[in-house]
Amino acid sequence: MMALESRKDLDKAFWRLSKYIESNIIHYVENCISCGICYEICPAFHIDKRYAPAPIGEWFRRFYRRYMNPIARALGKLAHAYPLTRENLLKAREYAYRCTNCAACYMVCAAGIDSGTLALMCKALIDSAGLTPQAVKVLEELEATRKYITPKVEELYAKFQEELKKYVPEVSVGERDRTAYIPVSIVDLVFGKDALISTIRVLEKIGITWTLPREPVGIRPPMGYVTGNFAEFASLVRRIYLEAKELNAKMILVVDCGYTYPALRFEGPYIAEIEQPCKIMSVVELFEDYAERGLLPVREGHDAAIWHDPCMLMRRGGVEMPHALLERIATPLKPKWKGRYVRCCGGGSHMFFLHEEVAKALSEVLEIDLVRMLDSFSREIAEFSLKMAEHRVEELLTKMPRVIVTACHSCVFMLRKALEKVSTVRIDVKHVSELVAKQLM
Ligand code: SF4
Ligand code: SF4
């Protein structure tokens, strides 16, 4: 991990980032009227009143004014313009790393201000000073350099394919002209193996041909979406697009709907400056489409199920709760809040990677010691994110579900961890594909 030492280097970091400061970012910087409407919905604000969207976004505004507004630059702190110094960036980190980039504030702000995106821009500057939490930075670097393909990862991928053979007649890897290309990641293999196998079983049943990448496409690509390293972001998007194109796939099917989905579907072509090779779909969209058209061969399910919207799927991806699908496979409960107004489970962005269990599980396959890299700041943020999860779980439990259904591996992890802490009743948390596979006829 390279730390840029001098002020001059940090100034350069701002100018490098300025390439990504488009009109939407300028709008987020310039037009907040500090009305406070976004505070109530922010999961961070619920845990600590200092960390609301406007003050989280304000740190990027302070740096922006220093470099982009000559009058504010001359007035300095009087005009809330701050230079990029290590000291200021450490203060900014306290705020930016409490944001899960859930976009809830964006949904309720009448001025359309996205404080989560401002936090991400701030993280890009924090990264330039070498202040990204080490465990997350190392994952990003391993992903960028492909050094995550360790012998243990190869073994894990081979074992996954062996296990898959129990359910499907033939495992397709790197084959051309299949309909769905599934960009399997390390996080998919370690935390979402059952969801992956279930997805493939359903594809077989509905007659959609599929293929897997020749090797896992990343740790949870693009890790640059978490650290604000847009160059890494671009290279990972390119890597996935190019393999899908080479294989002539008709769709890239995303099983883990963390930030991978909006990154590939929306931001990817712009950041990576490359055309999308084919349609990008989440399993939620695909299976909901089949359920709506009556083409999903499933038995009726009766478990009382409540849907938890992953932020990146709903608010940053526009994919809503799959009503028709849930009606078929369970007895869906009516959530108190739906879609854009659902609170984040605390697992968004970098949060997931700072939990000791996650670091431990990834360390085993990546053959590095991520747990040792979790410093006191990282552990404090993990604690903070767990409180967000507990808050979310308490909301869900008011509906007395038998199962919480979602479509993101970090949501599954966070909700399970919080349930262990706050609930004495046994409640399952499942990826939606697992529920569909269980009900297949
Ligand atoms: S971001 Fe929007 S809702 Fe929040 S304080 Fe600013 S103007 Fe108000
Ligand atoms: S993106 Fe989410 S966590 Fe971040 S400031 Fe907005 S509401 Fe809060």
Res 155: pLDDT: 98
Rounded CA-CA distance 148/318 in Å is: 31
Q: Which two tokens stand for residue 92?
A: 């900014």
Alpha helices for 330-408 (secondary structure H): 356-366, 376-397
Closest CA to 315 of 279, 336, 342, 283: 342
Residue having the nearest C-alpha atom to atom 6 of ligand 2: 105
The mean per-residue pLDDT over the stretch 293-315 comes to: 95
Q: Which ligand is nearest to the CA of 110?
A: 1
The mean per-residue pLDDT over the stretch 94-115 comes to: 97
User: Does 424 have pLDDT greater than 70?
Assistant: yes
User: Does 193 have pLDDT greater than 90?
Assistant: yes
Ligand 2 centroid to 113 CA: how many Å?
A: 11
Average pLDDT, the chain: 95
Q: Which ligand is nearest to the CA of 115?
A: 2
Res 335: pLDDT: 81
Are 62 and 85 within 8 A, CB to CB? Answer: no
User: Does 71 have pLDDT greater than 90?
Assistant: yes
Q: Is 150 in a helix, a strand, or coil?
A: coil
**For residues 190-212, b (16+ Cβ closer than 10 Å) or e, as one string?**
bbbbebbbbbbbbbbbeebebbb
Q: Is 91 in a helix, a strand, or coil?
A: helix
Residue having the nearest C-alpha atom to atom 8 of ligand 2: 42
Residue at 57: amino acid letter: G
With tokens 């640059």, the residue in question is: 224
Q: What's the chain's Rg over C-alpha atoms? A: 21
Are 204 and 441 within 8 A, CB to CB? Answer: no
Q: Which residues line ligand 2 at a C-beta cut-off of 6 Å?
A: 41-44, 53, 56, 99-105, 115-116, 119, 344
Residue at 411: amino acid letter: C
User: Does 7 have pLDDT greater than 80?
Assistant: no
Q: Which residues fall within 8 angstroms of residue 126, CB to CB, at 6 or more apart?
A: 89, 92, 93, 96, 97, 132, 228
Are 139 and 72 within 8 A, CB to CB? Answer: no
Residue having the nearest C-alpha atom to atom 2 of ligand 1: 109
In the chain, % of residues over pLDDT 70: 99
Rounded CA-CA distance 418/310 in Å is: 16
Q: What is the pLDDT of residues 212-231, one digit of tens each?
A: 999 999 999 999 999 999 99
Q: Which ligand is nearest to the CA of 122?
A: 2
Res 40: pLDDT: 94
Q: What is the pLDDT of residues 121-161, one digit of tens each?
A: 999 999 999 999 999 999 999 999 999 999 999 999 999 99
Q: Is 23 in a helix, a strand, or coil?
A: helix
Measure the CA dihedral 176/182/185/190, to 10°: -120
Ligand 1 pocket: which of 24, 25, 27, 35 to mutate (most atoms within 8 A of CB):
35
Q: Which two tokens stand for residue 179?
A: 């309909």
User: Does 14 have pLDDT greater than 50?
Assistant: yes
Rounded CA-CA distance 360/195 in Å is: 21
CB atoms within 10 A of CB 304: 14
Res 362: pLDDT: 98
Are 141 and 71 within 8 A, CB to CB? Answer: no
Ligand 2, closest atom to CA 103? 1
Ligand 2 pocket: which of 56, 94, 107, 385 to mutate (most atoms within 8 A of CB):
56
Query: What domains are defined for the chain?
Result: 7-131 (1.10.1060.10), 136-289 (3.40.50), 296-438 (no CATH)
Largest CA distance in the chain: 70
The residue ranking higher by pLDDT, 279 or 334, is 279
Closest CA to 252 of 262, 429, 55: 262
Helix, strand, coil shares of the chain, percent, nearest 5, are 55, 5, 35
User: Does 197 have pLDDT greater than 50?
Assistant: yes
- 305 DSSP assignment: E
User: Does 98 have pLDDT greater than 60?
Assistant: yes
User: Does 1 have pLDDT greater than 70?
Assistant: no
Q: Give the pLDDT band (50/70/90) at residue 5.
A: low
The residue ranking higher by pLDDT, 210 or 11, is 210
Ligand 2 centroid to 52 CA: how many Å?
A: 7
Closest CA to 208 of 238, 176, 178: 178
Res 2: pLDDT: 44
